[in-house]
Structure 1
Amino acid sequence: MNDEKIHDCGDAVCIIGAGPGGLCMARALKRQGLSYEQFERHSGVGGVWDIDNPGTPMYESAHFISSRDLPGFLDYPMPKHFPDYPSNRQILEYVNSFAHAFGLYANIRFNTSVDKVFKRDDGRWLVTLSGGEQRLYRAVVCATGCNWDANMPEVKGQFNGEIRHSVTYKKAEEFKGKKVMIIGAGNSGADIACDAATYAQKAFISLRRGYHMIPKHLFGLPVDEISEKGPQLPIWLTRIAFQLILRVINGDVRRFGLPKPDHKLFESHPLLNAQLLHYLQHGDIQVKPDVSHYDGDHVVFKDGSREQLDLVLYATGYKWSCKYAADYFEWKGGRPQLYLSIFSRQHHNLFGIGYLETNSSAYKLFDNEAHAVACYLRDQLHHPERARQFDQLIAHDDPDLSGGIDFVKSQRHEVYLEVHAFKKHLRKVRQQMGWSDLEEGYYSVLRQHSGYVPVDLPQTA
């Protein structure tokens, strides 16, 4: 390796990705006075929220699954003129405005992907960019997200119709005049099924398991707002309260053909979607069991029934990956095994932002993750003894972040954590390490303007 062609960036940190997680990381490093460089393969910030970003799973009808007033970045709430559940365009505008408000654009190199990271013998990280340029950093933060590589289950048989993954889906008009089936009932699968119910000639949704269905509003308020701002009850009592409410509101949803959940409420992601029930009630979409095999023009189901279809759309999630650094992550059940879902236990100064599954909105969690990384990296320069103390936590600390919930044993739940347990443990770590706490006003010193400034986005064709 010819070191003469390598640009040594000294103590700077490399951030890969300029979606919400990467922007949180940039702001946290900036707040700690640490130098960094950020690379984004697309032409703008926003990650998956930019429907023009190649490979994004975003579609026109997508809305934020969390409500407006809870999930925003610390010290940068979503504007009050947004609806309770903002659209994907509004979230993209919000993320762009956030980057402008905190002066984060200056350090982002757009249209530049990272092809590979390599850990040298001296512990520093060599980053190879698209085009072959190589730059050397003391740390790498992977913030490129989890929703890019489609997970396509194998099904026996030959189907004469069209088979696609939901990552290719963009607009409801794609269903016009077709007999369509959606496989999978995660929140995006349920959304797309509602589009099919409205536009398709005939619509079905195939479910492998049952889900607890929670409406987005209860008593006129966003349901997550009630959960977060209401009394913090023991999980068993919260479960009983919600089950009673859902029994009154929804009744027994098995009458629509939906299977009974095989798990207790909160042991897996509930389905936040009242529209799907509406379309089931009106017969605009029908429930089918898991697929057995394909047979020419027909899909055959495990109960022996069959349907002639034109299009099968798999809403079956994504394979988590980090291709440029895959060899440096320990994978279990398709999920990277990291301390607090952030810190590599095997490789010093390799971090991940957003490699978690949780029962809450993400952006303030990203803030919590990024703050911990930034405090640790600052300690390495200014408080090395304290940094070595945290090294011991990375190596040996193994907290229970389940919050007392026995999560479903599945690949998705390999890194699942309960948000209150996670935040409580991070507060404990901050106190133990003598790090500053995350409170309102912490980032105000970085604000370049007051108030919310909307950003004009290009019109999508």
Structure 2
Amino acid sequence: MQSIIPHIMPASAVAVIGAGPSGLAAARWLAQHGFEPVVFEASGRVGGQWNTGAEHSATWPGMRTNTSRVMTVFSDLDYPEGTATYPRHDQVQAYLEAYAEKFGLARCIRFNSAVELLDRAPGHGWLVRSRQNGLEKAEIFVHVVVATGRFVETSMPEIPGLESFVGSLGICHTKDYRGATVYRGKSVLMAGCSISALEIASDIAFGGAAGVLASYRKQRYVLPKLIAGVPTEHVMFTRAAAMAARMLPPDILAAGMRDKVVSVSGSPAQFGAFEPDANIFAAGITQSQHFLPAVAEGRIGVKPWIERIDGRTVHFADGSRAAPDGIVFGTGYKLSLPWLAPEIGRLLAIDGGHIDLHEHTFHPDLPGLAFLGLYDAVGPTFPVLELQARWVAYALSGIRSMPSREAMQQGIEQARAGRGGPTGIPMNMLAMLFAGNAGVEPRLGNWRQIERALLAGPLSPASFRLDGPDAVADAAERVKAAARAFGCITSEDYTSEEGLMRAIVLPNMQAA
């Protein structure tokens, strides 16, 4: 490919790498503000993880979302009427295809076009080398948005003797799970405490396995998908909670969050799992509707982490042993951008879990290059991706000022300081960060009639269409409808707990 003379693209053209949820959101908002997105998609369909035909898809038959239909959306499109509270993976795929059709994005997408190199162009701009159906291309863009997502390269732990395992079902990662049928009548070890690990362990246990063990390094707190019939994110990931997190000292915040989690879901130890660290930030949070009840029923046993493997025998850290037919690793993914030029990768200091960026998006030494959706969000991601896409589009178009070099350098330092800590970030914190940068966080003084819905209700995408660029007339009614869904916020009368939170955060929100 070195011999190909690059084609210089017009200044209005923006390369977007990836046509999953983040890439589609980026293309939609870039097009809205005068750009001509050119989307590079390695597979033959949009959808990213939700496209079962994509090489890196981690969906499985019968898979449902972990977040509700009200929050697994962008602000311009809802699911068809009658969609269940938690849509199937194929319904999410259909939703993304409908979104692409609504905004005419198909004309912008180059399907079966894999990026093989992103590098600085001589002089100015960015060189994108790609291969589409065997044809090599080289193009120079002024702006590039990297939107390939975080869940591409699987992370497998180093365990002594792992390669010696001889169980009949072998070893796989949750990415390769294709349903419980193959595990019926077999014994299975699930290694890991991620959401997918617990969901798949439950699926196998209720799908007829002879026995299921779950092994992990540390016990996380486990939130259910529903709290008294209301999706968990409607209760936990609110605007008021995000504001409180900014204001309260870390130890008080951790204690309050732990109390809230335990009050709605109990401690894992009550179900027969391990006792998590008292500091919820140290322990971490995961989610599954059925895992802890399955532990309580004896359908799933829990073990500490794997010490070593010797043929069929798995030895655990507490000295116990098991001989499963198969091992499934739910140990997450590495942050991987293998087509980045080495110099750029070194500048970003990508280490598999972290990347040095100002507020997850820009770098002061990489002008014209933006990154979208590479963080580990806890909770619904679609609203967050859309807000970040809007910020990028507004910054590139001049609607909002690009962060100063000094501000970005500070952001890089904060990113570096966070290395070694938990990678998961609550979605409400990310949403309000990006909304503030994009200038679309609602001004509560303008919306007294839906104040409780905005503070204590779900952080619905429509709530970011009330004020600022691209506000829409029906946003308030849609905010109210999202809050009333599932009986969450049906009036403007605060509960005592909500009233206390309001008294704490409202003066700061009004001042901001």
Does TM, normalized by the shorter one, top 0.5? yes
Task: Return closer, same or farther for 1:351/1:244 CA change in 2, 3 Å cut-off.
Answer: closer
For structure 2, the residue ranges without an aligned partner over 5 or more in a row are 441-462, 474-512
Greater relative contact order, per chain length (Cα 8 Å cut-off, separation 6+): 1
Of the candidates 315, 336, 339, which is equivalent to residue 358 of structure 2? 339
Q: How has the CA–CA distance of structure 1 residues 249 and 109 changed in structure 2, closer, same or farther, with 3 Å as cutoff?
A: closer
- Residue identity opposite 2:361 in structure 1: I
Q: Which runs of no fewer than 5 residues in structure 1 stay unpaired?
A: 446-461
Distance 2:138 2:471 in 1: 32
Q: Structure 1 residue 344: deviation in Å?
A: 2.5
Secondary structure in structure 1 of the residue aligned to 2:318: coil
1:444 and 1:106 map into 2 onto residues whose CA distance is 26
Give the letter for the 1:393 counterpart: A
Closer, same or farther in 2 for the Cα pair 1:127/1:224, shift >3 Å? same
Is the 1:114–1:129 contact (alpha carbons within 8 Å) kept by the matching residues of 2? yes
- 3-state SS, counterpart of residue 171 of structure 1: coil
Judge conservation of contact 1:63–1:87 (CA < 8 Å) in 2.
yes
CA spacing shift, 1:378–1:177, aligned 2, 3 Å: same
- Report whether the alignment pairs 1:209 with 2:218: yes
Q: How far does the alpha carbon of each residue in 1:92-134 deviate from its partner, in whole angstroms, 9 at most, with x for none?
A: 1111111111111111011111111121231211111113211
TM-score calculated relative to the size of structure 1: 0.84
| Distance in 1 (alpha carbons) for counterparts of 2:471 and 2:79 | 16
Q: How does 1:113-192 map to 2 (within 5 A)?
A: 113-130=114-131, 131-157=135-161, 158-161=164-167, 162-192=170-200
Q: CA separation of 1:244/1:8 partners in 2, compared to 1, >3 Å: closer, same or farther?
A: closer
2:286 corresponds, among 234, 256, 271, to 271
| Distance (Å, rounded) in 2 between the aligned partners of 1:25 and 1:175 | 40
Letter in 2 for 1:70: M
* 8 Å contact from structure 2 (residues 391, 435) kept in 1: no
- State the match for 2:6 in structure 1: 6
Greater shift, 123-132 or 324-333, is seen at 324-333
Distance 1:4 1:133 in 2: 7
1:224 matched to 2:250: no
Say if 1:115 and 1:324, in contact at 8 Å, map to a contact too. Answer: yes
Aligned residues: 429
Bigger mean CA offset, 322-331 vs 144-153: 322-331
Normalised TM-score (structure 2): 0.76
Q: Secondary structure at the match of 1:279?
A: helix
Contact kept in structure 1, 2:150 and 2:375, CA below 8 Å: no
Choose from 341, 363, 366 the match for 2:385: 366
What SS does the aligned partner of 1:156 have? Answer: coil
The aligned counterpart of 1:296 is 311
* 1:352 corresponds to 2:378: no
Give deviations 1:117-169, integer Å, cap 9, x for gaps. 12123121111111321111111111111112111111112222212222211
Distance 1:238 1:62, change over 3 A: farther
- What is the correspondence of 1:33-182 to structure 2 with a 5 Å cutoff? 33-130=34-131, 131-157=135-161, 158-161=164-167, 162-182=170-190
SS at structure 2 position matched to 1:132: strand
What SS class does the counterpart of residue 192 from structure 1 fall into? helix
Of stretches 160-169 and 239-248 in structure 1, the one that deviates more from structure 2 is 239-248
Between the aligned partners of 1:207 and 1:95, the Cα distance in structure 2 is 34
Distance 1:49 1:4 in 2: 34
- Report what 1:284 is aligned to: 299
Write out per-residue CA displacement over residues 360-381 of structure 1, whole angstroms, 9 at most, x where no aligned residue: 31112111111121122223xx
Deviations 1:25-83 (A, max 9, x none): 00111110112211111110000011221231211232212212123112223344222
Separation of aligned partners in 1, 2:262 and 2:397:
51
* Cα pair distance change 1:96/1:298, threshold 3 Å: same
Determine the C-alpha separation between the residues in 2 that align with 1:282 and 1:418.
Answer: 30
Aligned CA RMSD, in angstroms, stands at: 3.1
Distance of 2:357 and 2:79 partners within structure 1: 30
Amino acid of the structure 1 residue aligned with 2:186 = K
Q: How far does the alpha carbon of each residue in 1:388-422 deviate from its partner, in whole angstroms, 9 at most, with x for none?
A: x6444334456979xxxx99954x51xx4444444
1: CA distance between counterparts of 2:432 and 2:413?
Answer: 11
Change (3 A) 1:276 1:326: farther
Within 2, Cα distance between the matches of 1:268 and 1:240?
12
SS in 2 for 1:373: helix
CA distance in 1: counterparts of 2:258 and 2:322, whole angstroms: 34
User: In structure 2, the residue corresponding to 1:121 is in which secondary structure?
Assistant: coil
Q: Kindly state the Cα deviation for residue 176 of structure 1 after the two structures are TM-superposed.
A: 2.0
CA–CA separation in structure 2 for the residues paired with 1:269 and 1:33: 42
Contact 1:263 1:408 in 2 (8 A): no
Aligned-partner Cα distance in 2 for 1:35–1:123: 19
Contact persistence 2:227–2:264 (CA under 8 A): no
